[in-house]
Amino acid sequence: MGYHYSCNGLLLLVSVLMVVASSAVGSFYQDFDLTWGDKRAKIFNGGQLLSLSLDRVSGSGFQSKRDYLFGRIDMQLKLVAGDSAGTVTAYYLSSQGPTHDEIDFEFLGNVSGQPYILHTNIFAQGKGNREQQFYLWFDPTRNFHTYSVIWKPQHVIFLVDNIPIRVFKNAESLGVPFPENQPMKIYSSLWNADDWATRGGLVKTDWTKAPFTAYYRNFRAIPCNNCGSKRSSSSSVSDAQRQWQPRDELDATSRRRLRWVQKYFMIYNYCTDLKRFPQGFPSECRQH
């Protein structure tokens, strides 16, 4: 009798642990659809790993099954190794339509030994042109690194390995649109953009190095339940995940890290581009 009770208790404990483990990191089978590229997009390792490939015929891409409105999105990526010039790996949130909202990470490939450029942008009500670009302080092709977005009504924060690299504050009080009403899906694609991606299009894709492949793992989406969204996310998460709430402001350590990245690794900021804005910088630049 005692043995029977112990076995049942052990089985129950194992079942609970399996549920908690599976809810902490999503399955690509459960969370995403492979949307284009034929068999160049693949899910394997029991749904825990996804790859996108690009060859001369086509690139590939995927999108989330669900929409999200406010919260934190994490994804680990390992980018195309070797000579990746001309290729772009895009990872972003977006709604649809001419007045869409969008939060972008784009990784612009380069020739072997030269650094990737991380291109960021934000669209609100169809208007973008808010680019900031960075070099990374590591080789993003050797190992997986985590790229995150914290999206709240007050701000959007871009993070790399939990280090903030960019903060876009809500400046609606200055008449600047902010993404806050449109739920967005998560998208990623690997595609050829050798007309502009590397040195403004001077360096073309070397197709003898194809196929080019990027890898994804450890996707996690956690809604912000106290953000006052007009429409809640349709994502399904565990009670444990619901305990996470993004902070309203960056703490002192995070602010120091943000300044470090922007001082040493930012290579373009639209808010300081005098040639582009000779009549004055956009209104939101006063807050950045």
Residues classed as catalytic:
102, 106
DSSP state letter for 150 = E
Query: What are the φ/ψ torsions at residue 13 (nearest 5 degrees)?
Result: -60, -45
Structure tokens at 213: 């492949």
Q: b/e for 72-97, b at 16 or more Cβ within 10 A?
A: bbbbbbbbbbebbbbbbbbbbbbbee
DSSP state letter for 115 = P
- The secondary structure of the chain in percent helix, strand, coil, rounded to multiples of 5, reads 20, 35, 40
Q: Which amino acid is at 16?
A: V
Query: What are the φ/ψ torsions at residue 182 (nearest 5 degrees)?
Result: -105, 115
Nearest-angstrom CA–CA distance, 22 and 259: 36
Kindly report the length of the chain: 288
Structure tokens at 203: 């360096």
